[in-house]
Amino acid sequence: MSSGSGDVARTHLISQVGPDLEGQEVGLAGWVYRYRDLGSVIFIVLRDATGIIQAVVRSEEVDPNSWEAAKKADVEASVKLAGVVRLDPRAPGGVEIRVTRASLVGESPDFPIKKDTGVEFRLDKRHLDIRSRRMWAALKIRAEFIAGLREWFDSNGFVSVEAPTFVSAAVEGGATLFELNYFGRKAYLTQSSQFYLEAAIFTFEKVYTIQPSFRAEKSRTRRHLTEFWHAEAEMAWHDLDAMMDVAEALVDHAVQRVYENRKEELEILGRKFEPPQRPYPRISYDEAIDIAQSKGVQIEWGDDMSTEAERAVSLEFDRPVFVYRYPKQAKAFYHAPDPARPEVVLCADLLAPEGIGEIIGGGQRIHSYDELVARIREEGLRVEDYEWYLDLRRYGSVPHAGFGLGVERTVRWIAGIPHIRDAVAFPRTPTRLTP
Ligand code: NSS
């Protein structure tokens, strides 16, 4: 299918082509981002992994094969272009390419996504839409953020441990469990790797994983996916305050890394983002309820924080805020009760600013065998489903704490992405299973 001047060699990436190369010939390879055919001159905006550049093809300046290739190129066709670098203050990047040779590698007749294509159709064609500048920027910010998380864990004494996806019991309650048939037995998709990380602290003390978790959330919201990437940490000998210190240092590091290395991508998304100052404030659930009620949110002491309540609280702060010590009934069975106030548990959620709400949930775990069995029973769960988890309290139990951070929710905040589905390449929601 290739046509045109077959001998165009790639000499540069687009990001390497700047004013310093004025007058030099460069060879580029990529995809046609924009295409305008004015008859005897064709304007191509070429895209590669590193950026975009304008290229001008004039019929009198190229051989007939190159001209034919340029004529046949269309939006999202793959092409190779050789040309001379010219200064052009109006072009993106301040330079353009006067094409001397062109070849068409893969044609692209009638690329289905146009400028005015609607959201749902773009999602149907997400395998093509990730080529857009918007998704390119969002996904590079996501990759940088994940690299920042990993970098912090790896340089702070945490060992990475991976947990299974098929599991036999709930971590976060039955309402959001995906059930499946596992060779005739009931199994579930994991909601959280927490229990496996708890097992691993007894050999490594500080552990983390970044892997998918699954929630059968029927609610269609801007902050729920059915499959999300979960960065989870678990630490032996840590209490609630120490856990918040870890979570704060982790988020700060990864956010700083995105800010330093992804300025262009944030700009493409129109996001003016400054990493929040530390320390992040820490308020009690009681204080959070007072704030939410004072903003007119319908909520009673004892309720879990609703989306509206989290929004009201997070809008009160210019940086992430920890909300700690929720009522026992609002949280999963494994949370340790506050010895001074047994109706609340030693947990903390981190709410991101700008109304984003919860991005981290975690806390101190019950480490006494008897207390844990009592809580499992109290919740109406079957003790036998948690036998192996209870072993961790039988053999050398220690106080410990941990948390889980939702990668997409956090990227949504950093990058200013309106809907969580655009913080992941191939989102899974109740209505979306392809691509
Ligand atoms: O349910 S969490 O609040 N907590 C846990 O799963 C603990 N077992 C984690 C732990 O301590 N190791 O979920 C943690 C975070 C939450 O703050 C969100 O940021 C994210 O996981 N999360 C989600 N993101 C996207 N979509 C959905 N449905 C979702 N559910 C939780």
- Measure 80 CA to ligand 1 centroid, in angstroms: 45
Distance 68 CA to ligand 1 centre (A): 54
Q: Are residues 358 and 270 in the same domain?
A: yes
Rounded alpha-carbon distances, angstroms, from residue 131 to 111, 151, 225, 267 = 12, 27, 22, 17
Query: What's the CA-to-centroid distance between 218 and ligand 1, angstroms?
Result: 15
- DSSP codes, 207-274: EEEEEEEE-------TT--SEEEEEEEEEET--HHHHHHHHHHHHHHHHHHHHHH-HHHHHHTT----
Specify the residue with its C-alpha closest to ligand 1, atom 28: 224
**Are 205 and 267 within one domain?**
yes
Mind listing the pLDDT tens digit for each residue in 44-101?
Answer: 999 999 999 999 999 999 999 999 999 999 999 999 999 999 999 888 789 999 999 9
Q: Which helix (H) or strand (E) holds 43?
A: strand 41-48
Rounded to whole angstroms, the Cα distance separating 405 from 233 reads 9
For residues 173 and 315, membership in a common domain is answered with yes
Residue after which a domain boundary falls, among 40, 75, 106: 106
Q: State the distance from the centre of ligand 1 to the C-alpha of 44, rounded, in angstroms.
A: 44
Atom of ligand 1 nearest to the CA of 350: 17
- CB count within 10 Å of CB 92 equals 13
Q: What is the CATH number of the domain that holds 373?
A: 3.30.930.10
pLDDT at residue number 59? 97
**Which residues of the chain fall short of a pLDDT of 70?**
1-3, 5-6
**In this structure, are 83 and 179 located in the same domain?**
no
Q: Is 315 exposed, middle or buried (0-12, 13-18, 19+ CB in 10 A)?
A: middle
Number of domains in the chain: 2
CATH number at residue 100: 2.40.50.140
In a domain, 188, yes or no: yes
Q: Answer yes or no: do 100 and 153 share one domain.
A: no
Domain that holds residue 266: 123-423
**Token digits of residue 427:** 């989102």
Shared-domain flag, residues 176 and 81: no
* Domain annotation covers residue 19: yes
pLDDT at 7: 80
Note whether 29 and 68 are same-domain residues: yes
Q: Are residues 322 and 403 in the same domain?
A: yes
- Going by alpha carbons, the residue nearest to atom 7 of ligand 1 is 404
**Does residue 428 fall inside a structural domain?**
no
Residue 6: predicted pLDDT? 64
Largest Cα–Cα distance of the chain, in whole Å?
Answer: 86
Those residues with Cβ within 8 angstroms of residue 281's Cβ, 6 or more apart along the chain or in another chain: 317, 319, 321, 322
Residues 77, 166 within the same domain: no
Residues with C-beta less than 6 Å from any ligand 1 atom: 171-172, 192, 194, 215, 217, 224-225, 228, 230, 232, 358-362, 402-406, 408-409
Q: Which is the closest atom of ligand 1 to the Cα of 403?
A: 11
CA distance 278 to 259: 15
Distance separating alpha carbons of residues 399 and 411, to the nearest angstrom: 31
Query: Per the domain annotation, does 366 fall within a domain?
Result: yes
pLDDT of amino acid 236: 99
Distance from Cα 174 to the centre of ligand 1, integer Å: 14
Examine the domain organization and report whether 137 and 177 are in the same domain: yes
> Is 118 within the bounds of a domain?
no
The atom of ligand 1 lying closest to the CA of 232 is: 12
